[in-house]
Amino acid sequence: MDMDLLTNIFYAMIRTGTPLLLVALGELVCEKTGVLNLGQEGMMLFGAVIGFIVAFASGNLWLGVLFACLAGVLLSLLFAMVALGFNANQVATGLALTIFGVGLSSFVGASWVGKPLAGFEPIAIPLLSEIPVIGRMLFAQDLLVYLSFALFALVAWVLLKSRIGLIIQRSAKTPTPPAPWACRCCACAPWR
């Protein structure tokens, strides 16, 4: 196999895997708190459709990213209200939210299929992007890929090294609320 072809394949894998990394980070935080959120796929699809529509209509890709995040947060709040607020089964709620998100994104995005939208331009990091084989794969990506790498490091640090990370991990391992000194507000904890 040609080395340029292999480099292009890995470049595309990293770029297209960025949304999956972001969703996996969100699910990691959910799992660490003891909440099983199977609705991530529906949230991701609905956010992607809303982000595309806003970016296409406004011509601003960053505005599309912002609205995609807000759409995901909206469905996350719906999940939290049903699964945690009303104590519904988390598996059933997550699966229902996945089906709801897929259906809603298909309904909302049906009229936008086939419309072209240019993505973010790749940013080549000087010197590092010239390294043979891995240079283009890792150091000539767009800004969202770099932000997802930074977010990965931030989430790892928060969960492993910070006080709130220890509180999050303890809340999943024990069925009782953390001690009063641990946190002031545990309103979204699964034991409530």
Q: pLDDT value at position 33? A: 87
Q: Per-residue pLDDT averaged across 101-125, rounded?
A: 92
- 179 occurs within a structural domain: no
Looking at the predicted structure, is the pLDDT value of residue 188 above 60?
no
Residue 191 has pLDDT above 50, yes or no: no
Measure the CA–CA gap between 155 and 1, rounded to whole angstroms.
37
CB atoms within 10 A of CB 192: 10
Structure tokens at 167: 């509180």
More confident call, 179 vs 144: 144
Give dist(CA 176, CA 170) in Å, integer: 10
Assigned domain for 83 exists: yes
Across the chain, what does the average pLDDT equal? Answer: 88
Per-residue confidence (pLDDT) for residue 100, from 0 to 100: 96
Q: Is residue 145 part of a domain?
A: yes
Q: Who wins on pLDDT, 41 or 185?
A: 41
Task: Determine, yes or no, domain membership for 105.
Answer: yes
For residues 167 and 65, give the distance between their C-alpha atoms in angstroms, rounded to a whole number: 30
What is the per-residue pLDDT for 106?
95
Asked whether residue 188 is domain-assigned, the answer is no
Asked if 128 and 139 count as a contact pair (C-beta separation under 8 A), the reply is yes
The residue range of the domain holding 49 is: 3-173
pLDDT value of position 156: 95
Average pLDDT over residues 51-70: 96
What are 156's two structure tokens? 């790892």
Q: How many domains does the chain have?
A: 1
Asked if the structure places residue 126 within a domain, the reply is yes
Q: Is residue 181 part of a domain?
A: no
Full-model pTM: 0.83
Structural domain contains residue 190: no
